[in-house]
Structures are given as structure tokens and as C-alpha cells.
Amino acid sequence: MRLNQLTYGFVGLGLMGGSLAKAITKYVLAEENSTGKIYAMDKNPSSLEDAILEKTIERGFSENETKEMLSLCDVVFVCLYPKATGEFLAKYQDDFKSGAIVTDIAGVKGQLMENLNWKRSDVTFVPGHPMAGNEREGFTHASAEIFQKRNYIFMEPVVSGASSLEFGKNALETLKQLATSIGFGRIIETNAEIHDHKIAFTSQLCHVIASALVDSAEDTNVTAFGGGSFEDLTRIAMINAPLWTELFIADKKELVNHISEFQASLETIKAAIENEDSEKLNGYLSNVRSRRIAMANPK
């Protein structure tokens, strides 16, 4: 079936779920001859009302109607916090429609995969991580445009039984097509272990550093003396505290290692400054410049 003929279900219609739903509405279901539709459930009834009024979703479902919604959906996006994602998949595993594709957006995958006890051979779970977002929260701030040129990471499809391998591959292909359709620029396929290792650096460590930098400011008036650097480094410190508390702890081992490596790099440059070692400092900064320029165009 084509992407514009599928029924999509969103479990959680916050910033990420809402943005994905809006992007699918705009870039997939607005096509001519489209017969697809979007359903959604959210603990906040007003998000569902808003989404219906602006024609992002066709119908909202209450928590009591979860099974009904799942029985109707070809593709289900579970857009909850990491722990809640695992709980949802455990509770409703038997209720997905036969043939359905289920995916999630949790920012840490190791814990989720360890506890996932997937028994369905007719439903594929494809762990996913759309690398986008902003410092705001909730459906009100959702936007169809936040995925443009971003990275979407998929883990290997999970489906029970060796005979279902081809089925799992097809599910992944469908999600990759969908991701490209809504603007993602790059699809990365990896496993949970590599994902959690890499994300601990590019995402979690950055949030830790930005937060520590804001914490260390002597007052909140510092930006009067700024040239934009401080603002750029700390924009992500307008952080969703409960979500990131979960993410940091879920990826604790990898994250703590990355923090330690960063601390060592910081100590090296600090020592060069303290010793007024111009030569060493100049070498360190020249090397950093070359590395950062290389990073602007990843392979």
C-alpha cells in the first residue's frame, strides 16, 4: 500500500508526535487521491481538539479507547517518554492490527530493547529516533517543518520468528520512505548499542554542558555582554527537565564516559592557558578548527 493510503496512529501528540502528524498530513496525505488518515490519543484532550480543528488528525481517542485505535492503524508512532514507551509496548503488544508497523521516538534504546519481549510475528516494531525538536513543548509548538534535512536513526526491525525477516525489512523500507517524504535528509541504520553510544555524545553530553554553563553563570544578566556565543551554546538549556532526567539516567554509562573524556579535554586546554603555553594552545586550537571543519561534512 502506498503511504497516502495508510492509517496512522499517534500515541502521544506532544511536540514530536504533533510535528510528525502535521508533517505527514502536509507532505503525504495532502496528495491527490490520498485515502490515508491520522488517529491520535493524548492525555491532554485539548491537544486532540486542536489537532482535529486544524485537520491534522481525523479523530481523537481517549486512553480507554486505546485498543480500538490500535486495531485500526497500519502504522503506529508511540511518541511518549522512554519509560512510558516501554510500558505502553508491554501493555498493548497484543492489540496492534495484524500487519501493522510500530515505531517509537525514545532517545535511548538499550533499556527499551532489553525489556522488550516481542512475541508478534505479524507486527514489526522498528525502534526509531528522529533527531529533531526544539526547546518548546506540547502540540501547540508542533510544526511540520522541524524535520527538514535532519537525521532519522532506525534500529534493526524486531519481529518474532525467522520467517518474518522479509516482513520486517519491508516495514523498515516503508518508514524510511515516510521519513524521506516528510523532509528528513539522512537515514541512519544502526543498532541500539551504537545509537546509545553516539547519542550520548552528540545529544546528551551537549545538553549536560549547556546546562552546566548556565548553572555556572554568576547572574542572569550575562547576555548583556554577549556576542551570541553564549546564547548559541545554551539555547538547548531551556530543557524539558523530566524528559532529560530520564534520558540522562537511561544512558548513564555511555554519558558518564563521554563527560569524563570532555573533562580531560577541558583540563588540557585549561592547563595550557594557566601555563601561558602559547605554542601548545595554538596547536590545540588549530587541530580543533580542522576537526570541526571536517565535521561539517560527515561521511
287: contact with a second copy by CB under 8 A: yes
Residues numbered 73 to 92 that lie near a second copy (CB under 8 A) are: none
191: contact with a second copy by CB under 8 A: no
236: contact with a second copy by CB under 8 A: yes
- Binding range to a second copy, per CB under 8 A, among 12-20, 21-29, 110-118, 271-279: 271-279
- In the complex with a second copy, the residue whose CB is nearer, 67 or 253, is 253
- Short-list 232, 278, 284, 196, CA closest to 292: 284
In the shown chain, the binding pattern of residues 167 to 186 toward a second copy, with x for contact by CB under 8 A and - for none, equals -------------------x
- Binding range to a second copy, per CB under 8 A, among 27-35, 53-61, 73-81, 282-290: 282-290
Instruction: Supply the minimum distance, in Å, between the C-beta of residue 187 and a second copy.
Output: 11
- Binding range to a second copy, per CB under 8 A, among 51-59, 64-72, 85-93, 231-239: 231-239
212: contact with a second copy by CB under 8 A: yes
- Residue of 19, 103, 164, 234 interacting with a second copy (CB under 8 A): 234
What number of chain residues touch a second copy (CB under 8 A)? 90
Phi and psi (nearest 5°) for 131?
-85, 75
Give me 150's grid cell: 535532519
Residues numbered 117 to 136 that lie near a second copy (CB under 8 A) are: 131-133
Q: What number of CA atoms fall less than 13 Å from residue 200's CA on the CB side?
A: 23
Instruction: Supply the minimum distance, in Å, between the C-beta of residue 299 and a second copy.
Output: 6
259: contact with a second copy by CB under 8 A: yes
- Binding range to a second copy, per CB under 8 A, among 4-12, 26-34, 67-75, 242-250: 242-250
Q: Could you give the CA distance from residue 268 to residue 30 in angstroms, rounded to a whole number?
A: 54
- In the complex with a second copy, the residue whose CB is nearer, 132 or 178, is 132
Q: Could you give the CA distance from residue 80 to residue 15 in angstroms, rounded to a whole number?
A: 10
Supply angle C-alpha 240, 246, 252, rounded to 5: 125
Give the position of cell 485505535: 69
Does the CA dihedral 94-96-98-102 come out positive or negative?
negative
Q: Could you give the CA distance from residue 251 to residue 246 in angstroms, rounded to a whole number?
A: 9
218: contact with a second copy by CB under 8 A: yes
20: contact with a second copy by CB under 8 A: no
Report, in angstroms and rounded to the nearest whole number, the Rg of the chain calculated over CA atoms: 21
Instruction: Supply the minimum distance, in Å, between the C-beta of residue 80 and a second copy.
Output: 17
Bridge partners of 129, per DSSP, are 153
153: contact with a second copy by CB under 8 A: yes
Measured CA distances, 56 to 30, 103, 138, 295 (Å): 11, 19, 15, 37
SS3 (DSSP) at 196: helix
- In the complex with a second copy, the residue whose CB is nearer, 166 or 276, is 276
CB 129, CB 109: distance < 8 Å: yes
Q: Could you give the CA distance from residue 59 to residue 215 in angstroms, rounded to a whole number?
A: 43
- Count of other CB atoms within 10 angstroms of residue 51: 26
Instruction: Supply the minimum distance, in Å, between the C-beta of residue 281 and a second copy.
Output: 5
Instruction: Supply the minimum distance, in Å, between the C-beta of residue 66 and a second copy.
Output: 27
